[in-house]
Every structure is written in C-alpha cells, then in structure tokens.
Amino acid sequence: MRRADAKVLVVGLGGLGCPVAWTMALSGVGVLGLCDDDDVQLTNLHRQILYGAGDVGVSKIEAASRALRAMAPSVELRPHATRLVPEGAVELVSGYDIVIEGTDNFATKFLTADACALARVPVVHGSAVRWVGTALAVGMRGRPCYRCIFEDLPTGGSLGCAEAGVMGPMVGVVAAAQADLALGLVDGRDVAGQLVTFDGRTGDLRRRTVAARAGCPLCGSQTIHNIDAARYSSPTGAY
C-alpha cells in the first residue's frame, strides 16, 4: 500500500512507542493512532523522547500528540486515551492496517497478539529489558506469531522493565528495528516472521526468520478463537 494511505496504531507510548511514533509520523503514513492511558513521569524522560520536563504529570496521549503535530503537521492523529483491554481490543485494532506494540507488560503483549490474529491485522512486537531487546514482525496471515516464540504469559519470576530497569539508548535501537519492520509491512516487503535481537552490552544485532511452532494455539492448532479476559491475568500482572 502507499504510505500515505497506511493507518498505523502504536500501542504503548513509552520507551519504544515514542521513537516508533516519531518515525512513523515522519515516514509519511496517513493515519497514526496512539493508544496509552498513562501520564508522563520524571523517570520516563531519559528514554521517552516525545516528552520534556514540562510534560511531567500530563497524559502521554496529550504530550505525544502535541510533539507529533509540531514535527509532522500533515499526519492525521487518532488518540485513544486508554490501554488496550479485552473489551474492544479486536474492534480497535481492526481500524488499522498495521499495529506496533511496545508495551511494558506481558498481558497486553499477548492480548495485542491475539486481537491482531483474530482481526487479521499485521503486528510488530517489541520489548526491551535492561540491555536486551527484541522486535518481531507478524504478517497478515499471522504465522509465525508471538505465541510461537513466547507461548504464554509467565507464571512468575519474569521481570519487566519497570522492575528490572532498561537502558535508555538501547530502546532507541529496538524501536528503530520495529519501525523498519513496520514500514516493510506497509511497503510490501517480505518481513513477516523476522525476529531482530539486540544486546546493548556487546552491540550484537541479529536478524533471522523464525519458524512457526507446531501446535501453537494461536496460529497452529488455533484453539484461541476469541478474547477471554481471564486469559490475560497472571501473577506478573494483568492488563
């Protein structure tokens, strides 16, 4: 599709979502959706590049929209001042051609994966914890998918960036990989199934195409046919 016709939704306006939204706005996409329900905090500023000190206490949707309009006045912004929740998740992602997910909790990551699979909307997932980050592109056919690699919500012992911390410069590299994969999907390049991993301690950046997992409940045996809120609750936190 033409970039000017593309409708892209960014889920999560944190360390990954900020540079991703920045890049999407300047890349010429026609519509940019923004989905988040948090306010800007002082601890965000070292990595969430759409915000400044004057934005502390302001909703991320408001602050990000103001910054993006200043740099790309021609892009149509669609703010969704909410987190992605089971009620309405499929409906929300169905309004877009591509979803880019950069949230900081497992429940929302799996919810995004499932909702996009059910809606047949391509999605690019991203994560960043401490020095390590990943980006994964899932095409419209949805195979391989996020559950092929990460299977399901952890039952305990796994730390997100809020608990483990994250290095600010590292998220920029991972977000760049997400943006590249997302624009590849928009431009019609064959990037579905590509997994990018980055180790900020060594500088190692790897890109490979992963295989679908036999019996995957989302894209293999397809036992996930709807969004059930109970599926996205775990000891590590719910949506």
Q: Determine, yes or no, domain membership for 124.
A: yes
pLDDT value of residue 67? 98
Query: Is residue 85 domain-resident?
Result: yes
Tell me whether residue 239 is in a domain. no
Is 57 within the bounds of a domain? yes
pLDDT in tens, 53-85: 999 999 999 999 999 999 999 999 999 999 999
List the domain range (segments joined by +) for residue 31. 3-232
Angle, alpha carbons 55-106-224 (nearest 5°): 130
Dump pLDDT digits (tens) for 73-117. 999 999 999 999 999 999 999 999 999 999 999 999 999 999 999
Are 197 and 174 a contacting pair, CB within 8 Å?
no
Find the DSSP H helices in the chain. 17-27, 60-71, 89-94, 106-119, 146-150, 161-164, 168-187
Do 146 and 125 touch, CB atoms closer than 8 A? yes
Residue 146, amino acid: Y
Reply yes or no on whether the pLDDT at 235 is more than 50. Answer: no
Mean pLDDT, residues 213-238 = 82
Q: pLDDT value at position 161?
A: 58
137 in any annotated domain: yes
Mean pLDDT of the chain: 93
CB atoms inside a 10 Å sphere around CB 181: 28
CA 196, 118, 184, 33 torsion-angle sign: negative
Decide if 88 is inside a domain: yes
What is the model's pTM?
0.93
Strands 204-209, 194-199: pairing kind: antiparallel
User: Is residue 68 one of the residues assigned to a domain?
Assistant: yes
Structural domain contains residue 179: yes
CB atoms < 10 A from the CB of 32, how many? 26
pLDDT at 159: 56
The proportion of the chain whose per-residue pLDDT surpasses 70, expressed as a percent, equals 93
For 26, the token pair is: 């300047």
The yes-or-no verdict on residue 237 having pLDDT over 90 is no
* Mean pLDDT confidence for 157-162: 56
pLDDT surpasses 90 at 49 = yes
pLDDT in tens, 163-208: 666 778 889 999 999 999 999 999 999 999 999 999 999 999 999 9
pLDDT value of position 202: 93
Q: Quick one: pLDDT at residue 239?
A: 42
Sheet of 7-11, strand order: 76-80, 31-35, 7-11, 98-101, 123-129, 132-138, 194-199, 204-209
Q: Assign residue 61 the CATH number of its domain.
A: 3.40.50.720
The maximal CA–CA distance of the chain, rounded, in angstroms, is: 50
Number of domains in the chain: 1
Alpha-carbon span 89 to 224, nearest angstrom: 15
pLDDT at res. 166: 75
The confidence band for 222, taking pLDDT boundaries of 50, 70 and 90, is confident
